Structure 1
Amino acid sequence: MERLEGYFSQWVIKYRGWIIAVSLLVLLAAGNGLQYLGFDNDYRAFFTDDNPELLAYDKVENTYTKSDNVFILIEPKTGDVFQPEVLKLLEELTTSAWQTPHSRRVDSLQNFQNTYAEDDDLVVESLYEEAEDLLAADIETVKQVGLSDPLLLKRLVSADGRVTALNITIEYPKVDADKELKDVVSSTRDMVAKFEKAYPNVNFYITGIAFLNNAFVEAGENDLSLLVPVSLLLMVIIMFVLLRSISAVFGITLIVIFSDVIALGLGGYAGVKLTPASISSAQMIMVLAVANSVHLLVTFMYGLQHKVPKQEALLESIRINLQPIFLTSATTMIGFLCLNFSESPPFNDLGNLVAAGVFVSFCLSLTFLPAMMSYLPVRVKAGEDIAVERLASLSKFVIRYQNIILLVSAVVVFIAAYAATLNKPEEQFLKYFDESVEFRGDSDFANQSVGGLFQISFSLPAEGKGGISDPQYLEHLALFAQWLKEQPEIINTYVLSDTLRRLNKNMHGDDPAWYKLPESREMAAQYLLLYEMSLPYGLDLNNQVNIDKSATLLVVGVEEMSNVELLDFEQRVQQWMQDHLPASMQAKGSGSILIFAHLTDKNIKGMLSGSILALVLISMILVFALRSIKVGVLSLVPNLVPVIIGFGLWGLFYVEVNMALAAVVSMTLGIVVDDTVHFLSKYLRAKREKGYSTEESITYAFTHVGKALTISTLILSAGFGVLMLSPFALNSDMATLTTWIIMIALVVDLLLLPILLLKLDKEKT
């Protein structure tokens, strides 16, 4: 191994000119792929194409009206919505909303198709028109309908009447998804801005699926345009302060930029579409690319400080660091590649892109970086580094108080392990966004006022064509809707049986006693036909009834729930269906919140398998590379302890674990093992090459790698720490927990690992 290391280091210096030239050519070729790196603006990007819950959801959407929408809320600053000025505003807004690009339907209190009897005729018309001419009695009628009709109350009108909403159903042609979404968002914002100016006494809020997708886009763009440059700048500052060498900082910065450009360029060639969850790969690659370079340059500069000639110092640095840099790169790549066990494609892309970036940085840090440094002037003050003296003192402290430190460590790990059990796998996709994000604030307001922003749909089949008019089917439909209304999680229901009750009452002179379902199939079918023929264009029953009238869609608005609560609710619904509905009528629930709930559950299970595989592979590599089963197995402790403590802290402070945090175990296993590998590499080199005792080898490891470990940890923490500022919770939560684990790993490697070596590796090599 030593001969191979020596040969490789000499090869790098001998062909340094060619290495630089080839590296630049690879950069240009791979960088060309950046133009193909797209951005996916659809929340469906979190699901695979064959995801069963997504397929069921798409089937419902293809049968009925699409769920893509814009939801605008209106709140007068004083009074309720039932006043002339607000009703006039709503009428004008309803008319303008039809001009929204790709709009297919507009629903509001104003154009709600109210029905009533006039002699023997059924009248179907908008609830009101020409608001400026409404009399007090007319407004009272509007108020009475708005606060009583189940198709309006807690859907488009709040229970207290202080908020009303307008829903625009969007159907994209899907020719240019990015442009289509931007057109909808910009058009809506421009429209609302005009009304805000015209009606200063009214507050407006915008949410809906279109703005959810746009929030994903803006979160990703914000991270890429702001956090990545800030992260790079902060890392450069830290490197300069700690390394005190412009040439060294310049060399590392080139490695960082090259690694990012090449990895993302290759991703572009591979057809990767970035999402807010995978766009953080750019920052992670930068952060991880620094670590390899730092270890090589710290060893190089250590040689210069001891008056070793520049070329010899470079050769020795490459020789000493070849194995540990290879091991740390391999283990980091394994950790990130195991993200492919995630059920969510963005996390697959994140793992693959970062793994590619780590491989590129491994190659460049051992070839391009020393080749560049051989040409660059490097000024280093000769003499012993004060940091080395402090690390030697720390080594003596650890050796002297090893029993006390071991006892305290055991207590901390035990407490952390218990605290880690407090974590609960919970997902609330609205909380993916920080409260500073406008979409989050508007959506929270919508859910608290009108309610029902979170919906679950049930497509309930009937017996054959026209079967939805069968009285028995309608009775079961009404029974199911009534049971749902009684559940504590339900805010509102949207069901055909309520419409038929109203029509039956209308056709009997609006007698309240006839507010019940039609008694015969023929009567129900006639009512529906008469009602449909009276509906204006764009407000048909396609959002509730399929084409051949063999199924209807029941939609329930639910409270915001975690994925665990949602899955429990779904199970309760399915059990009730089995007990009370005929087998032909039973159906699974569908909706964006449900598919995310199932995704989180599957993702956590998948990442558990990925983490176990990562741990096994990393352990096998360490045992083989370090040529010691004892040391390889022993290395598991400092790799697992930081993860246990990190999740313990999370259990104490946050509790909720989303699908991004499920990926942290695999990811951080690959990162924190770096410190362990570098420490053990220097420790074993001292034992095997220099014949040192265990205590002397530990001190050697402290003084020869302790500074590099500290610098790389600070840089990694700073890089991930900046990502904590992301308004996208999947990124900020993942960065927070990862930063904690990385910092804890340094403490464990400098305190606990040496003690384990003292206790378990006493024999002399």
Structure 2
Amino acid sequence: MSRQPESWLESGVNLLYKLRWGLLVVFLILTGFAYFPASKLDFEQSIESLYAKDDQHLLDYLESKRLFGGDELVFVAYTVPGLLGEEGSRETDELKEVRKFSQELSQIPGINADVTQNLANALSPPKLNFLLRVLIRQKRDELIELSRGVLIGDDNETTAIVLRLLPEDQSPVPRAETFKQIRELAHAHEPRAYVVGEPVQVYDMFRYVEEDGDVLFKVSLSLLAVVLLLLFRRLRWVALPLLVVICSIWWTEAVLVIGNLQLSMVSSMLNSLVTIIGIATVAHVAVHFQALQRENVPRPDAIRRTMVELLPAIFWTCATTAAGFLSLLTSEIAPVRSFGIMMALGTLMVLIASTVLLPGGMSLGYLRQPSKQSDDKGLARKLKQVAQMNERYPKRILWGSLVFVIFAAAGFSRLTIETDFSKNFRDSSEIVKALDFVETRLGGASTWEVNFPAPSQLNKEYLDRVLALAEDLQQVNPPDKTQLTKVISITDTLDFVPAKPFASDPIQSKLDQIEDLQADFESSLYNPEQGRMRIVLRALERQSAEEKLSLIHKVDALAKKHFPGSETKESDQESKAVHGEPGKAAGIFILLAYLIDSLLRDQLYSFLLAATSIWLIMSLAFRSLKLGLISMVPNLFPIVVVIGVMGWTGLTLNIGTAMIASVSMGLTTDSSIHFISSFLRARSRGASTDEALRSTQHSVGRAIIYATSALVAGFSVLTLSHFIPLIYFGALVSVAMVGGVFGDLVLMPILLRLTYPDKAESAA
């Protein structure tokens, strides 16, 4: 009988096998070179980058930053018994120590020393004329009340030093160094001081993501190596998956550096996701290769057969995974789009690394022939029992799964978004302890504002309107609940300071004298050139999503009520309405409150696009729309379950879970494609549906269990993170992968049996 000509796939695999040593060496050398650019990959640490460029909250924040310099403030708070001394006493030793500590903090590089605020200077400004000094001494109690909630707490013992950061492009050192030195002084202070402020919170978030992500990736790789060794009991099948993963990551990161892309908080999970794809791919190859070895197939033939039979599945797996992540390109947020590109690139690198490294890797060294009997008899027995269960109770399983999915889906309506930024950190973390101290003893740790149109020259009528808005804002808190802890208006200090005698403009005269009290007072609240004024607000960070968003809406509504931005002009200059854009709330407090909402905004569309793309690619791969639909079941099942369980258990959507649907869709396709491919191969050899499903369950099922066990063990390390979203991400991805196992080994066989019934069943 004449031998059939080789297919293009067999010819390609034979060529790969012939060149395996050269490809292995060259690829490893190039990977070594790739490490150097890969190590220079930067981490984008801007909260603004997590918003679409045309997002109104972001535009309002950037406008405020341009008009008033931004509120990049750091509060250093601590308790000083006897801070104020006895009533009527002059400056106490404790206040002198506050001034000294404030001077030390002000000398830290990156701090604008000219505008540092502290209670000692507020009660006794160092640069004042004699008359103002006498006046301030007489109005000491009023000054204390003005400083209440900012520089002094209700207990008259807690005080804070307010530091204003220099803009990053003007700072002589990176922000990380500035915060490090502030904390060192705070920790060394007696009593210990606590450091808070939105810039610190944002910095800690990015620091934990970067540091924990790197450490946990290395630890999880080590744990993965141990688990793979226990499962495969061969060092080869420990080294090869890790080699594929590391090469893929280094190549991906090197290309990102060359392309001037940066990692962000969204893409910080890049290494972890590439690990999932790489480990799962090599696990299927290992199980298939070992099965051929048990049948006494010579190693060269076993390598070639493994590559011929699995390369198409690996290719389509990578194609569907890449398509799932590329759907994120529809996002309006640049880091989300970059994440989609990065993951598609990482998936391509896994395909290349697997194709190039595995033939040579499987050929290296002595390979002990595996025994005819499988080392995992217990697993084989369990898989056989699952197959029998699928055959006996298909309808019960399908109906039970449908009821469970419907129940889980009902949890969608219970999903909530986390807006308390402190909930991103463990309660034991430094930033949460600091927030607890400040918000229980001093007041809100979050600074934001309402800004509104203003005339180029202030007048009494306008200031009365500002005062009315400030008074309404002070009453905005609901009964028995404090949300807004401080309202700082220009009218507070104007009423306190007298005008100079015979001044032509009394209001401007007051502003000039206030400048001696606080250098940046006027410029931080009023911009006459741009015709805008603001009232600065302090609010509690540690409050629920509903409370925080309700507060923002109420404050914004009050700003628009008092300053609607009327276009009506009157002839009388003194009573003329202030024109321009209506009043509005703005600030990083609002950006943090709407952060998850921003990330979620276009995720539904991305998810639908991902699902459609994956279905079309799978239909193309198997040349069947029906098989494409069947393959989607085990991919959608874990997503519905994971998100539904989040709703039912009260887990909130945070930074780590905002894109869990799109991410899961890109990760659960691997096993489905391998399962269907193995089933179709068995059918093409003449096996019945039941026989094909049993053999697939035994071979591919083992690979699925091995890969999932290793990855769940590896991702369990994420539960050790300081950053709560990383913990959520690790746990939920693990649950999604376990759900994918159920979909592939239970639901998939039942659906395939219904689609490909045996002839006897069809006749019946």
TM-score band w.r.t. shorter chain: 0.7 to 0.9
Q: Is the 8 A contact 2:71 2:164 kept in 1?
A: yes
Counterpart position of 1:187: 181
Q: Is the 8 A contact 2:52 2:334 kept in 1?
A: yes
Q: Is the 8 A contact 1:422 1:655 kept in 2?
A: no
In the superposition, relative to structure 1, how do residues 279 and 285 fare at CA in structure 2: closer, same or farther (>3 Å)? same
2:243 corresponds to which letter in structure 1?
L
Counterpart position of 2:262: 273
Task: State the 1:564 CA deviation.
Answer: 5.7
* 1:367 partnered with 2:356: yes
> Among residues 705, 711, 717, which one is paired with 2:712 in the alignment?
717
Q: Is the 8 A contact 2:276 2:667 kept in 1?
A: no
* 1:46 partnered with 2:27: no
In the superposition, relative to structure 1, how do residues 570 and 479 fare at CA in structure 2: closer, same or farther (>3 Å)? same
Counterpart position of 1:672: 668
In the superposition, relative to structure 1, how do residues 720 and 594 fare at CA in structure 2: closer, same or farther (>3 Å)? same
* 1:159 partnered with 2:154: yes
In the superposition, relative to structure 1, how do residues 663 and 47 fare at CA in structure 2: closer, same or farther (>3 Å)? same
> Among residues 132, 136, 139, which one is paired with 1:123 in the alignment?
132
Identity across the alignment (%): 24
SS at 1:554's partner residue? strand
Task: State the 1:524 CA deviation.
Answer: 2.5
* 1:95 partnered with 2:84: no
Counterpart position of 1:524: 507
Counterpart position of 1:148: 145
> Among residues 12, 17, 39, which one is paired with 1:13 in the alignment?
17
Task: State the 1:85 CA deviation.
Answer: 5.2
Counterpart position of 2:117: 107
CA distance in 1, matches of 2:621, 2:136: 77
Task: State the 1:283 CA deviation.
Answer: 2.7
SS at 2:495's partner residue? helix
In the superposition, relative to structure 1, how do residues 645 and 79 fare at CA in structure 2: closer, same or farther (>3 Å)? farther
In the superposition, relative to structure 1, how do residues 270 and 718 fare at CA in structure 2: closer, same or farther (>3 Å)? farther
Counterpart position of 1:421: 413
SS at 1:38's partner residue? coil
> Among residues 653, 661, 664, which one is paired with 1:657 in the alignment?
653
Task: State the 1:748 CA deviation.
Answer: 2.3
SS at 2:602's partner residue? helix
> Among residues 477, 489, 498, which one is paired with 1:495 in the alignment?
489
1:555 corresponds to which letter in structure 2?
V
CA distance in 1, matches of 2:198, 2:493: 26
SS at 2:527's partner residue? coil
1:327 corresponds to which letter in structure 2?
W
Q: Is the 8 A contact 1:336 1:667 kept in 2?
A: yes
In the superposition, relative to structure 1, how do residues 544 and 13 fare at CA in structure 2: closer, same or farther (>3 Å)? same
* 1:535 partnered with 2:517: yes
Give runs of aligned pairs for residues 378-393 of structure 1, distance below 5 A.
Answer: 378-385=367-374, 386=377, 387-393=379-385
> Among residues 627, 630, 650, which one is paired with 1:631 in the alignment?
627
Q: Is the 8 A contact 2:476 2:554 kept in 1?
A: no
Give runs of aligned pairs for residues 587-736 of structure 1, distance below 5 A.
Answer: 587-687=583-683, 689-736=684-731
CA distance in 1, matches of 2:39, 2:382: 49
Task: State the 1:417 CA deviation.
Answer: 1.2
In the superposition, relative to structure 1, how do residues 180 and 550 fare at CA in structure 2: closer, same or farther (>3 Å)? same
Q: Is the 8 A contact 1:111 1:126 kept in 2?
A: no
Q: Is the 8 A contact 1:38 1:273 kept in 2?
A: yes
* 1:231 partnered with 2:220: yes
Task: State the 1:80 CA deviation.
Answer: 6.6
Q: Deviations over 1:386-428 (max 9, x none)?
A: 2434422321122123233223222221221112321123333
SS at 1:460's partner residue? strand
Counterpart position of 2:573: none
CA distance in 1, matches of 2:39, 2:396: 57
Q: Deviations over 1:488-510 (max 9, x none)?
A: 23211010111122235x989xx
Q: Deviations over 1:456-483 (max 9, x none)?
A: 21222213x21xx222211111111111
Task: State the 1:377 CA deviation.
Answer: 2.3
In the superposition, relative to structure 1, how do residues 544 and 114 fare at CA in structure 2: closer, same or farther (>3 Å)? farther
Counterpart position of 2:554: 572
CA distance in 1, matches of 2:426, 2:396: 43
Q: Is the 8 A contact 1:41 1:216 kept in 2?
A: no
Q: Is the 8 A contact 1:216 1:275 kept in 2?
A: no
SS at 1:557's partner residue? strand
Unaligned stretches of 5+ residues in structure 1: 129-137, 509-519
CA distance in 2, matches of 1:549, 1:31: 50
CA distance in 1, matches of 2:513, 2:706: 77
In the superposition, relative to structure 1, how do residues 125 and 663 fare at CA in structure 2: closer, same or farther (>3 Å)? farther
In the superposition, relative to structure 1, how do residues 246 and 127 fare at CA in structure 2: closer, same or farther (>3 Å)? farther
Counterpart position of 1:132: none
Q: Is the 8 A contact 2:73 2:163 kept in 1?
A: yes
Task: State the 1:94 CA deviation.
Answer: 1.8
Counterpart position of 1:252: 241
* 1:331 partnered with 2:314: no
1:581 corresponds to which letter in structure 2?
F
CA distance in 1, matches of 2:625, 2:6: 20
CA distance in 1, matches of 2:136, 2:291: 82
In the superposition, relative to structure 1, how do residues 528 and 639 fare at CA in structure 2: closer, same or farther (>3 Å)? same
Task: State the 1:676 CA deviation.
Answer: 1.5
Task: State the 1:563 CA deviation.
Answer: 5.5
CA distance in 2, matches of 1:102, 1:407: 63
Unaligned stretches of 5+ residues in structure 2: 87-91, 478-482, 566-578
SS at 1:37's partner residue? coil
Task: State the 1:664 CA deviation.
Answer: 0.9
Q: Is the 8 A contact 2:414 2:650 kept in 1?
A: no
2:380 corresponds to which letter in structure 1?
V
Counterpart position of 1:352: 341
Counterpart position of 1:291: 280
Task: State the 1:750 CA deviation.
Answer: 1.4
Q: Is the 8 A contact 1:427 1:657 kept in 2?
A: no
SS at 1:662's partner residue? coil
In the superposition, relative to structure 1, how do residues 441 and 346 fare at CA in structure 2: closer, same or farther (>3 Å)? farther
Task: State the 1:343 CA deviation.
Answer: 4.5
2:289 corresponds to which letter in structure 1?
F
CA distance in 2, matches of 1:79, 1:347: 52
Counterpart position of 1:262: 251
In the superposition, relative to structure 1, how do residues 428 and 350 fare at CA in structure 2: closer, same or farther (>3 Å)? farther
CA distance in 1, matches of 2:550, 2:299: 66
> Among residues 60, 65, 80, which one is paired with 1:61 in the alignment?
65
In the superposition, relative to structure 1, how do residues 632 and 426 fare at CA in structure 2: closer, same or farther (>3 Å)? same
Q: Is the 8 A contact 2:187 2:193 kept in 1?
A: no
**Taking structure 2 as the reference length, what is the TM-score of the superposition?**
0.88
Task: State the 1:548 CA deviation.
Answer: 4.1
Counterpart position of 1:33: 37
SS at 1:359's partner residue? helix
In the superposition, relative to structure 1, how do residues 425 and 703 fare at CA in structure 2: closer, same or farther (>3 Å)? same
CA distance in 2, matches of 1:41, 1:602: 17
> Among residues 437, 441, 463, which one is paired with 2:433 in the alignment?
441
CA distance in 1, matches of 2:702, 2:135: 75
SS at 1:457's partner residue? strand
User: Cα RMSD over matched residues?
Assistant: 3.0
Counterpart position of 2:480: none
1:572 corresponds to which letter in structure 2?
K
CA distance in 2, matches of 1:674, 1:34: 27
* 1:312 partnered with 2:306: no
